Every structure is written in structure tokens, then in C-alpha cells.
Structure 1
């Protein structure tokens, strides 16, 4: 895990929206990473125009080249999952991860390919995080937590000890998942929600305590 972003290489950020640009900014200001960003790939690049970054557009998401080093900066879980699977079929594509220098990681915690951890995230001991999962600013992940593939966790989320988050789950800003709770795949947890017991069937949940709304 410690060497996740310390091998010097040129990388391409997949996604040119807010998340992709945030990743770009954190890497640019991180003294501990040796990544060099060559640009973005996306089908919608309007925000690059808005912020004067159009010259960093390298092409569409479908134009990823063989032997390219990529970092996924996409929040939508379903789209991210589809993109990840397509990338795995290409020749010699390396899906890179990024851990900001301020992140705290406990012992015996393991990460899959393409994990992105933003500043001030705290990962406790014995945590497992799957491929292409993203955790935003200030979130706290308790001991023995299991997080699946292509999960997106927004800022200031608190996952209690022993929580299980299955694949393609989105967790909104400030949500709390109490210890031992399980969230099934493809679920959506609204901002500020408190999940007090395991969810049996996928859906969209909101409130305190969280209830299914869709």
C-alpha cells in the first residue's frame, strides 16, 4: 500500500468534472507524490473550458490508449464500474491509485486497484477496500470495515467498526453508518443520513434513522 503513488510515472485522469479537477489539484500540491499529470480524458469537458484547462484535454474516455497509466476521477458508481471493466480488457493499462499525504492508515489495511483517498481521511486497522473506490475529505473508516468495488464516499462520512459496504454504493456527505451494519450493492445513502441497522434490499435511503425512499 505504501508505494501506491510513489513510482514516478505520467498519469491521465479519467473524468474532467469537479472530482477529476480536485484530484488534479491535490496531486499538484502534494510534495510526497511523484505522479506527473499529462491531462484529462472525458466526453464532457465544459468545466475544463471554464477553468482554463482545455489544453489538458487529451480526448474522450473511449480513446484511452494501450500502456497508458490512468486514474479514475468519476463519482457515478455505475458508470465508474462499467469504465473499470472496460479498462481491464485493454492491453497493459495500469489503473493507478492515489492517497493524499495527510491520510492516516492503520496496520493490516489493504486496498485494491485505483483507490483514491482525499485529504484527512482516516482508515483504521484491518480494513479492506476494493477496486476503483473513492473516499472524500475527512471521512473516517472504522476497524474491520469491508468496502467493495466502485464505491463513492463523500466528505465527512463515518463508517463504524465492522461495517460492510458492497459494490457500487454511493454514500452522501456527512452520513453515518453504525457499527456492524451492512449496505447491499447498488444502494444510495443520502447526505446526513444515519443508518442504524443492516439494509436487506438495495435502494435509496435517507434520514435519521435512514428509511427507504426509492
Structure 2
């Protein structure tokens, strides 16, 4: 199901995936089966999203970001892919960010570029992730710090 008020340019969208209104998905993006892409999302070209993943409203997923299976991305999560952004000055390549299987990222969290969020990790709402998060770990705060495993 792709809402008629979305601009979906990719043909690489899996079975039973729902894309709601006002989403933009660029041509080279790959999205797995049984995903839910809520309204007002942008997904760039060099992006891979696995199966059974939920992307809540207001999320932009930039080039260089890979999201594996069974991941939850909360509303208004902010991903970044350039540590030194300047207007009209682009890096040769963007840093890679990887969100591993079964991870969850709470609403309004910010994920800096080049990090790995491990399997079953939990990022608390509003956290700012500046370094990689170990599997089965919960992080909260700014900067995000481990609170449990």
C-alpha cells in the first residue's frame, strides 16, 4: 500500500510494506517486506531498510544509513550523515550508520553519523547518540550514556 499523496520513486519496496501520505522515497532506496513508513518521511538513495521495520512520522533517512530487520524508529528521530556540514560543500562519501536487528530508537533522538547501534539496543527518547551502542544496551541522555545491559 502506497498512499497516493506520497512520492515513491523506488521500485525496491517489499511485499506488505505500507507507505503513508507525504513521504518521499528516492529511486535507489531499498525497503524490505512488511514495513510501515509513516507520514512525512524522507528516504534518500543510498539507504537500505530491512524487513518488519517501523519508521514513525517525521523521520529523514539520509544516504549512508542501513537499518536492519525488526527495528523501531520513533517519531522525529534525526539521523545525520556529515560531521562537518557546510552549505553546497559535499564530502566525497558520507559516513555509514548501521542500526542492527531489533534495535529501538525513541522519539526525538539524534543519531550522529558513523555509529553502529547494536542488536536489541534501546535508545531513549531525546537522546543524542555520539558513539556506537553495544548490543542489548539501553542508552539515554545527551550525550547518550549506557544505563543497563
TM over 0.5: yes
**Could you list the runs of 5+ residues in structure 1 that have no partner in the other structure?**
7-29, 34-93
Bigger relative contact order, structure 1 or 2 (CA pairs below 8 A, ≥6 apart): 2
Aligned residue for 1:118?
38
What is the DSSP-based 3-state SS (H/G/I as helix, E as strand, rest coil) of the residue aligned with 1:213?
Answer: strand
CA RMSD of aligned residues (A): 1.9
1:192 aligns with 2:121: no
Instruction: Give TM-score scaled by structure 1 length.
Output: 0.56
Alpha-carbon separation, structure 2, partners of 1:128 and 1:193: 23
Larger Rg: 1
**Could you list the runs of 5+ residues in structure 2 that have no partner in the other structure?**
7-13, 82-95
Structure 1 residues 196 and 100: alpha-carbon distance in aligned structure 2, compared to 1, 3 A threshold: same
Question: May I ask how many residue pairs the two structures share in their alignment?
Answer: 127
- 2:69 pairs with one of 142, 149, 155: 149
Structure 1 residues 97 and 201: alpha-carbon distance in aligned structure 2, compared to 1, 3 A threshold: closer
- 1:138 pairs with one of 42, 58, 72: 58
Following superposition, which runs of at least 4 residues in structure 1 exceed 4 angstroms of deviation?
30-33
- Shift of residue 106 of structure 1? 2.1
1:182 aligns with 2:116: yes
- Shift of residue 95 of structure 1? 5.9
1:173 aligns with 2:107: yes
